Structure 1
């Protein structure tokens, strides 16, 4: 599996022949100028699935654009799926519960302690994250926007995690200190940090944060825009 970090919580996953885009927030993202995010998609003909954790603008901003352009299926909770289905898009609504099988592997929708509403006030259902167990035998947890919660302790009962993607910016989500505790609950020694440095109120000091994870024996990836890691 190849994971490419684009910005904020937006990641592009390549699982075997399948492309999955998570929480696309690019066109209105202050990190990008003149829509220069397009270069990261030049060699991609199809994005097979778009995973949406919750309805906040910084996670759904470009769902409609990418779903139309790349003929993607949107996977999200029932309410978000219905919101985009009414726009004529292909969706697959899920909720908390058992693993659900897809061609790239299987997904379990995981509780997130957060909120979920579209910019127009439409209810966005219960926020969540995604536990992926993929056909290339990798197990990834994308937490979405969440505070620390004890349900994270349950995930190692289902899989041994190869990587957890956790928010670390604080204020609206866990901060990095709580993300360290989350990593311990998850028994996950490799963490990709997201949801930090995009805005002034979620700024971190990268060096300090990396060192704090290192003290606990946890590898923290803080990727630059467009940077990839192989899991």
Structure 2
């Protein structure tokens, strides 16, 4: 018997093993990507719960329990259901307020600007393992290489952490790091840019070109952030996404911008504005 005849069964087994491994790999990738859609639940101001196609739940800027625009059923943090990850764009109360409690409740890491999380751990608000640090330009894949990818990008704003010192019962202002926005790339490639709080800045064009977000969650209230006309210009002329969801308006008297003004300023064509009320979901 020739040598290659002896090896033929081995070669066949090897081919079957390689085929099986490839199929298992494809199945694993399909499981990671999931068969669902990207769901965005807006909860007032900048608070949102985003569920990825693979079922991962990411909560951004959770100010809920005292937010006047958050629906009553979501003022209890338990109403959010499971939470896998928390993102905080900067240290201001209306973005950070409920993040530590939510993180402790679910043992879910709260990612935020490196300087902010440094203060959070130094003050003992959260342990180091629940307050990981990363910064602008950094990308994390917290659920593995085939899962959601999150990139911190620039935001034109400020960031301070106000902490009540239990020893003095007085408020103290601590370093909040650089404010950021987050680009979330879902398992299926759909991209969301949660812009946090920001004014217009020139590199919105660059970020739009680099990451090509499908959806932007954009502040329109004015005073502390863009007004509707500024936000419309940024969407129409700089970022050019498919969808725009206005946020950060109407919670205080100074945040006067409205979705109607934003839609009028956007004009015809270009991005589709999503008229969403707090507590409503959109799917993609």
Q: Please, what TM-score do these two structures have when normalized by structure 2? A: 0.75
1:135-187 deviations in Å (ceiling 9; x for gaps): 12111111110000011111233332210111001110011111112112112
Partner of 2:21: none
For residues 137-216 of structure 1, what are the structure 2 equivalents within 5 Å? 137-183=189-235, 184-215=237-268
Rg larger for: 2
User: Which of 73, 85, 97 in structure 1 is aligned with 2:137?
Assistant: 97
* Cα drift, residue 189 of structure 1: 3.2
User: Which of 98, 105, 114 in structure 2 is aligned with 1:62?
Assistant: 98
Partners in 1 of 2:215 and 2:80 — Cα distance? Answer: 26
Partners in 2 of 1:93 and 1:78 — Cα distance? Answer: 4
Paired residue total:
229
Secondary structure, in 3 states, of the residue corresponding to 2:225? Answer: coil
Q: Please, what TM-score do these two structures have when normalized by structure 1? A: 0.91
Corresponding position: 1:112 with 2:155: yes
Comparing both structures, which one devotes a greater share of its residues to helix?
2
Partner of 1:222: 275
Partners in 2 of 1:30 and 1:79 — Cα distance? Answer: 29
User: Contact 1:214/1:220 (CA < 8 Å) preserved in 2?
Assistant: no
Corresponding position: 1:9 with 2:63: no
Partner of 1:125: 177
Unmatched tracts of structure 1, length 5 or more: none
User: Which of 86, 109, 115 in structure 2 is aligned with 1:50?
Assistant: 86
RMSD: 2.0
Unmatched tracts of structure 2, length 5 or more: 1-37, 163-171
Comparing both structures, which one devotes a greater share of its residues to strand?
1
